[in-house]
Structure 1
Amino acid sequence: MNETNHLKWKKKFFTIAIGQTVSLIGSSAVQFAMIWWMAIETDSPIMMSLAGLVAFLPQLILGPFAGVWIDRRKRKTVVIAADMFVGLVAAAFAIAFVIGRPPVWSVCLVLGIRAIGGVFHTPAIQALIPMLVPSQELMKANGWSQFMQSGAFMLGPVFGAFLFGAFSMPVILLTDLLGAMAACITVAVIKIREPEKSGTEYPNFRREFKEGIAVFRADPRLLHLLINAAVCMVFFLPLASLYPLMSSSYFKVNAFHAGIVEFLYAAGMMVSALVIGQLFQKTNRLRLARMGLLLLGIIILACGILPADYVFFWIFAGLCLLMGACGNVYGLPVMTYMQETVAPESLGRAFSLLGSVMSLAMPLGLLIAGPCAEKLGVAFWFLASGIAMVLVTAGMALYDKKAG
């Protein structure tokens, strides 16, 4: 690759990535403000849980169908439309605040509607990256992208807290629209070579959904790893809801300490994104991803056996830094492998189907984790989750090794 082409793809990639990061900071800030407003208004764990569940449902229900549409349309158009949809939903909610005081349950409704945009946006942008980046640079580019996204997730709540204290809700909500417009402009100005479409006829969702499944069935190693990951996510994803309880109930520390835990988790994601992208470009993708799942299970298990003592809280915080890092050790190689091996015209369906399967793990896990943690303690769920993830991952690795 000559120097001119090298600079050309980098310019395109970073133009879009920076725009998406700005949009993500705005969306994360607005989401924080909406949830914080609902928490103040209701002080209800049930409403907070309902809000989280509603945000997951669109991916679960629409994901497979969204992938079919993404592969039938220009990815560039889908990304712009999805970004603007989310921004306009926030703007409409801002108008509702100007007109009068909306009911608290409307936050759940808005979170669910906004999530519809994400159902289309995430797989479309993942499928778009291979059209900009040379295949040998995909791991590095995904690392940069994840680094910026992790930074956005760190800055978003901080920005949201500042906005919540300084401005009214209508003003806060409009920042989402401004961020979406910035992201759309950066995508619109970049020329992208789209893959050839198989046809312009109305999509046959049943047939094309099966074609999406066939992508994974055609690659048994990838399929087995994703089954492994889906089972692990049933145990791992509920931990996000239990994190605050480890700080407040188990270690009995305050909100400042809980914030440190969240910060370190995101910092681990940021650092690992750069390291993996730069140093592991030639490593076996699926082997690295499985190692990430195994390490994640070991770290979670270690969290579960820590004594409930203030000194050990800081060990827990350090383990959370490693936990954030290991999430990327799994996620980045899988994304890169799919971008490298799946046909461009099927990438949208593949990523959407993957997102739907993983999103199913959250409600399933919560149904198990909630009663278990309530009865046996939150630390026990960390311990049980870690053991389950280690056993499942090790067992699947042995099965694949015997299968050859």
Structure 2
Amino acid sequence: MNTKQLPDGNSSWKKIALFLISQNISLFGSSVVSFSIIWYITLQTSSGKWVMLFTLCALLPQVLISLWAGVWADRYNRKYLIMLADGFIALATLGMAIAFFSGYQSMELLLAVSLIRSIGAGIQMPAASALYPQIVPRDKLTKVQGINQTLNSVLLLLSPAVGGIVLGSVGIFWAFLIDVITASLAIAVLSFIRIEKVAAIAEPATVFAELRQGIDYVMSHRLLRRVIICFGVSFFLFTPAAVLTPLLVERSFGGDVWRLTANEMVWTIGSLLGGVFVSLRGEFKDKIRTVAICLAGFGVTFALVGITSNFTVYLLIMGIAGFFLPIMSTAQTVLIQENVEAAMMGRVFSLIQIVTGSAMPMAILFFGPLADIVSIGSILWVTGVLLIAVGVLYQVTSKRAGLN
């Protein structure tokens, strides 16, 4: 890592604070709009087909653009790439707001703009993840990621409520404007931070040649190979708990709205507490063991969720499961940031985005139909046991390879 780019003292923390504020303002607006759109489509159509189409438009472009986004994040100044992506999303959302205000309220337009927003997010995310090591001292990466995870959890707890209030009281047009305003504020805040372009480690090549360099870099790196495999397998196994638990609640405990709301909230509250824990702890010396423990923790909690018959116990276990998420995410992210050259950071994070973004859609194609054949509790129990096995294998194989 090029430590010459890292300022000391108050200047460093001011830059970090501004970056966190910028990205979390942007996240809040995007979350409000995402919830508003999915609820608007649900209320207007009551159609699973339209919800599926929205989900595909919101996820798949983000994965596909990552093929190029990582290369751009390593080739160009990451600050300006983030600002351009945010501006691109804001302009698309503003256009949709104007169309809806003018009376052109089309489901096809919502899908088209969701696709554009997904492209912007796919460009922004690898650049933002790769930028952290440029402005955060190595020994503070875990603490800063913990603070960021805490802020993310708070905003993800608030954004559904804000989206629901705005959609129900003044309409979706104003939800679009919230996103335009927050994106503009995020760009303005980020503009106050001075961030240099990372020096390339080789002569510029074609986008596909640089992408191939990134893939070769990951495949030849023993630690990164294990991390990528761990991400892919674990996200595949997380999918039933992430997607099917509302259906589990409806089938096992009743379809009351408050039960479904509680199911979402306890996970977020658990994640919030996990983020606070990470920010207070400040460092995990053995990050591989930390990830392995979290995977085992997910496995145990998911298996217990699959067999519990008491809703209060179910909520408690789901909250505990949420607690592990920011810990694992922080340990895994910082492990990558500490072990990847600055000039390759964007491509590595884009490959991780491709793997994680592809794993869950592939998994739901398998687990969704399976949930109509066997009980969701059985699916959660089996995936929980498999996650424990993944955690043990990740720890054992990494230690044998001399990694930590």
TM over 0.5: yes
**What's the CA shift for 1:280?**
5.2
**Count of matched residue pairs:** 397
Further displaced range: 159-168 or 102-111: 102-111
User: How big is each residue's C-alpha offset from its partner over 1:7-64, in whole Å with a ceiling of 9 and x where there is no partner?
Assistant: 2211111112112222221111111111111001111122212211222211321212
The one of 67, 71, 78 equivalent to 2:70 is 67
Matched, 1:134 2:134: no
Matched, 1:83 2:86: yes
Letter of the aligned partner of 2:193 in structure 1?
I
Which residue does the alignment assign to 1:357? 355
Which residue does the alignment assign to 1:373? 371
Find the aligned partners of 2:378 and 2:232 in 1 and give their Cα distance.
21
**What's the CA shift for 1:199?**
6.8
**What's the CA shift for 1:377?**
2.4
What TM-score comes out, normalization by structure 2 length?
A: 0.93
**What's the CA shift for 1:238?**
4.2
**What's the CA shift for 1:118?**
0.8
Q: Say whether the 8 Å CA contact 2:270–2:319 is kept in structure 1.
A: yes
Q: 1:146 to 1:370 in 2, by over 3 A?
A: same
Find the aligned partners of 1:189 and 1:70 in 2 and give their Cα distance.
20
Which residue does the alignment assign to 1:178? 181
Which residue does the alignment assign to 1:247? 249
Find the aligned partners of 2:54 and 2:304 in 1 and give their Cα distance.
30
Q: Say whether the 8 Å CA contact 2:240–2:380 is kept in structure 1.
A: no
Find the aligned partners of 1:380 and 1:257 in 2 and give their Cα distance.
21
User: How big is each residue's C-alpha offset from its partner over 1:319-345, in whole Å with a ceiling of 9 and x where there is no partner?
Assistant: 111111111222111111111121111
**What's the CA shift for 1:221?**
2.9
Letter of the aligned partner of 1:267 in structure 2?
I
Letter of the aligned partner of 2:235 in structure 1?
M
Which residue does the alignment assign to 1:343? 341
State the secondary structure of the residue aligned to 1:194: coil
Which residue does the alignment assign to 2:125? 122
Find the aligned partners of 1:118 and 1:150 in 2 and give their Cα distance.
18
Which residue does the alignment assign to 1:28? 31
Find the aligned partners of 2:288 and 2:91 in 1 and give their Cα distance.
39
Question: What percent of counterpart residues are identical?
Answer: 27
The one of 194, 197, 206 equivalent to 1:194 is 197
Find the aligned partners of 1:75 and 1:225 in 2 and give their Cα distance.
24
Q: Say whether the 8 Å CA contact 2:23–2:186 is kept in structure 1.
A: yes
State the secondary structure of the residue aligned to 1:374: coil
The one of 320, 323, 326 equivalent to 1:325 is 323
The one of 142, 165, 170 equivalent to 1:167 is 170
Find the aligned partners of 2:158 and 2:216 in 1 and give their Cα distance.
39
User: How big is each residue's C-alpha offset from its partner over 1:321-373, in whole Å with a ceiling of 9 and x where there is no partner?
Assistant: 11111112221111111111211111111101110011110121011111111
User: How big is each residue's C-alpha offset from its partner over 1:61-96, in whole Å with a ceiling of 9 and x where there is no partner?
Assistant: 121211001111100101101111111111111111
State the secondary structure of the residue aligned to 1:376: coil
The one of 6, 21, 43 equivalent to 1:40 is 43
User: How big is each residue's C-alpha offset from its partner over 1:116-174, in whole Å with a ceiling of 9 and x where there is no partner?
Assistant: 11111111111111111111101001111111111111111111111112213222211
Further displaced range: 84-93 or 214-223: 214-223
Matched, 1:158 2:161: yes
The 5 Å alignment of 1:257-272 reads 257-272=259-274
Which residue does the alignment assign to 2:304? 302
Which residue does the alignment assign to 2:238? 236
Q: Say whether the 8 Å CA contact 1:373–1:381 is kept in structure 2.
A: yes
Find the aligned partners of 1:224 and 1:291 in 2 and give their Cα distance.
16
**What's the CA shift for 1:200?**
7.7
Structure 1 unpaired stretches of 5+: none
Structure 2 unpaired stretches of 5+: none
Letter of the aligned partner of 1:95 in structure 2?
I
Which residue does the alignment assign to 1:213? 215
Q: 1:76 to 1:200 in 2, by over 3 A?
A: farther
Matched, 1:146 2:144: no
**CA-atom RMSD, angstroms?**
2.0
